Structure 1
């Protein structure tokens, strides 16, 4: 009798385990399907942009956008090659501003976020409030413009770097990471061993903060790379404008021509050699190229940086 009871209990446990595994498999399949569809929806616009950039302009105007080019053409890229010097210069400015700006932004942001994350820092609450206050209120466009121009930053690369140097949201992310992830006892142990504040920051804090540094660095990289507004406001020298501003300018010129505001003779003369829609897509492909190449290398750090420190252990 006891053997029968034991056997039935084993069968029940196995049945429950089987149903749990089956439910887990179904849930995993549903989740995988949903994420796959979401990923496909993110990739399809990029495929469409690339396809249109290699399409013939006349067929695009007649039949609309298509995922598979009806007539393959590289006229849009030939049109852009005519301004290769401007594009190359814009690429150089964008890469320089992105690299230098991201590095300086990570340095300044971490130097600010680390002290306010320390419980023994006397003014941590006041400084944290100032950071939070700037997220709610701003000085406005006119004071912002006057401040930079009167400081002599107009038509300089510093005008493209400094406006995005410190982002309050990134400071808060770093502060939370430092507070919840790096034990204060580790810092105290380093002090007992004779390490100074700069050595603790450089030898202990930064090596342990690679996930959040990569996350904030990616945010800043995208911000600097996609920025065209500061070039529009502060830069008059065509040798100092960014690639994204050139993209904005091309799109604005094409929209102006297509709107009919220009004279009929000028429009007819330009449209004979101007691939309007395909040129826009070709510029978009050229503009997003470097970010697509960099993102896969930072993806694992991005996920970890957004999750580590979100729950205090």
Structure 2
């Protein structure tokens, strides 16, 4: 009986905690579909009282830069995640093999980058002056190619794979690349999905690299556009998001909420499909480290 009481109490507490986390999203969605004048007079509420889709019509208008920013973000996220997974997988697989010479020293070099870096100014000089990544879409991809923490997480999964299985594949004539992509990756699927989700979220949510490297508005990703909208009312009224409305008719507050909803929508949609891999990946990866 006492165990049931503890269990029910825990459920109630966690439900209330989840509700506290979800309510801001309801308020944000409600604000995005509420008339601008009502928001200015009465503020935000959980349920919309005066329904209006003017904010969404504004940001998805023909001249809106939101659509372009979305395509930039999708390209950066898809290409960046795929490229990062390949490079990180190759490095993690190499460092997980016992036959690799100096693998401990190489692992320490990778780990060292978690603790220390060269600083922002040297990084910026190398990135823009020597690598010429300024105002290019690759400037939004290449700097995040390898994350050391993700590499170590993936390496832990690769270490857990039985060496006898890999030796059997080598005897059958498989090379290391085939072993990695046809055997190791499928067997370590929870870890691969977890690291892939981390990379996808990193690329999707990034506004830091555009702030440093991008001046061309055609290359603005949606998160950087959202940052500019949230921080500058002038950017909205000057036509930075769309230019089919007069500046005085711009629903500034509801636009902020609408862009936020549009930005987080894909993540909310995708996460349930990878949730089981994500939870299993974190649990198994942490235990086997």
- 1:290 is aligned to 266
* Aligned counterparts of 1:281 and 1:305: Cα–Cα separation in 2: 33
Preserved CA contact (<8 Å) 2:228 2:235: no
- What displacement does 1:23 show? 4.2
Preserved CA contact (<8 Å) 1:113 1:171: yes
- 1:175 is aligned to 155
Change in CA separation of 1:236 and 1:192 when aligned onto 2, cut-off 3 Å? same
| Equivalent residue for 2:26, pick from 28, 44, 47 | 47
SS where residue 305 of structure 1 aligns? helix
| Equivalent residue for 2:168, pick from 184, 189, 196 | 189
- 1:9 is aligned to none
- 2:248 is aligned to 272
- 1:92 is aligned to 71
Detail structure 1 runs of 4+ shifted over 4 Å in the superposition: 255-258
- 1:266 is aligned to none
Change in CA separation of 1:61 and 1:146 when aligned onto 2, cut-off 3 Å? same
Matched, 1:147 2:126: yes
- 2:282 is aligned to 306
Q: TM-score, normalised by structure 2?
A: 0.89
- 2:144 is aligned to 164
* Aligned counterparts of 1:252 and 1:188: Cα–Cα separation in 2: 57
* Aligned counterparts of 2:288 and 2:126: Cα–Cα separation in 1: 40
In structure 2, stretches of 5+ residues that fail to align are 239-245
* Aligned counterparts of 2:122 and 2:287: Cα–Cα separation in 1: 39
| RMSD, matched Cα | 2.4
* Aligned counterparts of 1:271 and 1:58: Cα–Cα separation in 2: 15
* Aligned counterparts of 1:288 and 1:184: Cα–Cα separation in 2: 41
Change in CA separation of 1:85 and 1:60 when aligned onto 2, cut-off 3 Å? closer
* Aligned counterparts of 1:214 and 1:31: Cα–Cα separation in 2: 30
In structure 1, stretches of 5+ residues that fail to align are 1-21, 263-269
